[in-house]
Amino acid sequence: MKHQYDSENATLQLTAEGDVTSTNVDSMRYELEDIYEKTSTSHKKKWSLLILDLSKSQMVDSAGLNLIISIVKRNKASGAEIKIITSSPLVHRVLTFTRLSKEVNIVLNKK
């Protein structure tokens, strides 16, 4: 998972480089912990906006969905606004099965 921090706008962008499924969520979870820790220590100001970019993901399964929800819950708890970007109608559909669509801004950018 790639990440980018825009200190001027206090925005952390996380980009999944492919599908978010049972076979890679565990490694993504470790990567995320690392990203949170490094970003928090290197920047005094905590991000106020988290962008989760899933544009390169064609598939998000139940394990992936659970990871995304835990990301959302954790960041909402710390007061950040969350935006999820997807280019796949299927991923959009899976995300909107859940209450996520009421909690965060989900943007479908069809390619």
Partner 1 sequence: MSQQNYKRVLIVDDDKVMRTMIGMILTSRGYIADQVNSVSEARNILSEERQSDYDCVITDYYMPGENGIELIKWIQDYQPTLSTILLTSTEETDVIKKTFRSGAVDCLPKPINQKVLFKSVTNAVEVTKQQREAQQTQKSLREIGKFQNYLLQSKPPNLPVEVFTCNFPQKEAGGDSLTIIPVNKDQVLVVVTDVSGHDLKAAFVSTFFQGLLRGMIQRKAPITEILRFFNNYLLNEWSKLHPENSEHDVVTSLAVCAIQMNLKTGNATVINSGFPSANYTDGEGYHERAVLENNCPLGWFESLESEHTLYPIPELSTFTLWTDGLEDLALALNVDRMALAYHLFHYKKMGNQPPCIKKSKDDILLVRVVIPSDNESPEYYPIISEMYSGNEFNEVDAFQSTWENSLKLVIEDLNQEHLIAFLLCAREILLNGLNHGCQGSEEKACHFQIAYNPVDEKLRLCVRDPGKGHRFDFKKQFENMQNELVDASTGLSIVYGLAEDLKIEDSGSCVKAIFSIKNE
| Euclidean distance between CA atoms 49 and 47, whole angstroms | 6
Nearer to partner 1, 50 or 100 (CB): 100
Tell me how far, at minimum, the Cβ of 59 lies from partner 1, in Å: 5
Sign of CA pseudo-dihedral 16, 18, 22, 25: negative
Residues in touch with partner 1 (CB under 8 A): 21-23, 58-59, 61-62, 65-66, 69-70, 72-73, 88-90, 93-94, 97-100, 103
Residues sharing a CB contact under 8 Å with residue 52, sequence separation 6 or more, in sequence order: 14, 16, 68, 71, 82, 83, 84, 85
Tell me how far, at minimum, the Cβ of 57 lies from partner 1, in Å: 10
Tell me how far, at minimum, the Cβ of 9 lies from partner 1, in Å: 26
